[in-house]
Amino acid sequence: MLEIDGLYKAYGDNQVLEGVSFTVAPGQMFGFCGSNGAGKTTTMRIAMGLARADAGEVRWLGRSVDEAVRRRIGYMPEERGLYPKMKVGEQLTYFARLHGLDAAPAARAAETWAERLGLGGRRGDRVEKLSLGNQQRVQLAAALVSEPDVLILDEPFSGLDPVGVDSLAEALLEQCRRGVPVVFSSHQLDLVERLCDAVGILARGKIVASGTVEELRSGAAGRQLRVVAPDAPPGWAAAVPGVRVVSEQRADVVLELGPGTDDQQVLAAALATGRVTHFAWREPTLVELFRGAVTDTRAVAA
């Protein structure tokens, strides 16, 4: 279990983190979302020992994360960092060795990962000669080359083409299957929704929502019901008790049900008007959940 527990961090007067907490289970893929400047990078840097929390702790398997543990974490910083003049293969070997591998296994691992991420032919090239996309792959390989126990990746998908996104996603899913907890931050919420078992939404230095996407949906206020009844007279829905009409366009209405209101009552009322061609809960997308979560706190904070 990777536990981020109550992190606080201020840079001068700027309180960046105000009690960030979440946990990631082994084999779980955790999507870390939040608007720009919400504190995602700061949280990850604290986990990697690159910034010191004013309060709070990061634990892995119940043990506070120290240097020995950190060497078992694969990390991809937001600002990509590689030696520009070093060859791809040598660079990967070097990082593998820094993470504790012996020379021969490190060289083997470097070869394997370069091959798997489609860099086999570029092992002898200097990093600066590679395209940005390929540099990104090297960066990922540097995080994976030591077969880490935990992966923390800051915006790993940014700047990748769709094929690159797919191969990276596949690589991460494979790590999850190996039992590695994976935390990654991203603004591509559709991707997070597709890949992640769990999501945390960070806003104003706090986790405002976390859990599986399903949990977020059920917890979200204002689940909406869409009903299409072509023969119904305008205003039929407003007459049903406990129902608020969100929008009404001819026969197509979107409703919010008050607590305790039975959706079957609504269906009955609709059927009473004639045909019903559509009756379904509308699942909010992660984008909507994100917007809702982020704007809520803004309102509170304001």
Nearer to other proteins, 152 or 198 (CB): 152
Closest distance of CB 122 from other proteins, Å: 18
DSSP state of 284: P
- Under the criterion CB under 8 A, does residue 125 sit at the interface with other proteins? no
- Under the criterion CB under 8 A, does residue 98 sit at the interface with other proteins? yes
Helix-helix angle 132-144:162-177, to 10 degrees = 0
Single-letter residue type at 99: H
- Under the criterion CB under 8 A, does residue 146 sit at the interface with other proteins? yes
Among 28, 144, 149, 243, binds other proteins (CB under 8 A): 149
Among 35, 48, 279, 296, binds other proteins (CB under 8 A): 48
Per-position b or e across 259-277, b if 16+ CB within 10 A of its CB? eebebeebeebbeebeebe
- Under the criterion CB under 8 A, does residue 102 sit at the interface with other proteins? yes
Per-residue mark of binding to other proteins, 163-202 (x: CB under 8 A): ---------------xxx----------------------
Nearer to other proteins, 102 or 115 (CB): 102
Q: Find out whether 273 and 230 touch, Cβ atoms under 8 Å.
A: no
- Under the criterion CB under 8 A, does residue 56 sit at the interface with other proteins? no
Among 86, 220, 246, 254, binds other proteins (CB under 8 A): 86
Region of 91-99, 195-203, 208-216, 240-248 interacting with other proteins (CB under 8 A): 91-99
Among 81, 121, 133, 274, binds other proteins (CB under 8 A): 81
Cross-strand bridge partners of residue 254: 226, 247
Among 35, 56, 94, 228, binds other proteins (CB under 8 A): 94
Closest distance of CB 96 from other proteins, Å: 9
Query: Any long-range contacts for 46-54 (C-beta under 8 Å, 24+ apart)?
Result: 46/7, 46/9, 46/17, 47/4, 47/73, 47/152, 48/73, 48/75, 48/77, 48/152, 50/77, 51/9, 53/7, 53/8, 53/9, 53/17, 54/8, 54/9, 54/10
- Under the criterion CB under 8 A, does residue 206 sit at the interface with other proteins? no
Cα–Cα nearest to 211, from 47, 40, 81, 31: 31
What are the φ and ψ backbone dihedral angles of 49, each rounded to 5 degrees? 75, 15
Sequence-separated (6 or more) residues with CB below 8 Å from residue 213 = 193, 196, 199, 286, 289
Pairing assessment for the beta strands 182-185 and 206-211 based on DSSP bridges: unpaired
Among 17, 38, 82, 141, binds other proteins (CB under 8 A): 82
Nearer to other proteins, 100 or 274 (CB): 100
- Under the criterion CB under 8 A, does residue 101 sit at the interface with other proteins? yes
Among 22, 30, 32, 95, binds other proteins (CB under 8 A): 95
Sequence-separated (6 or more) residues with CB below 8 Å from residue 266 = 225, 227, 237, 240, 243, 255, 257
Among 77, 118, 211, 292, binds other proteins (CB under 8 A): 77
Binding site for other proteins (CB under 8 A): 45, 48-52, 67-68, 70-73, 75, 77, 79-86, 94-95, 97-102, 105, 142, 146-147, 149, 178-180
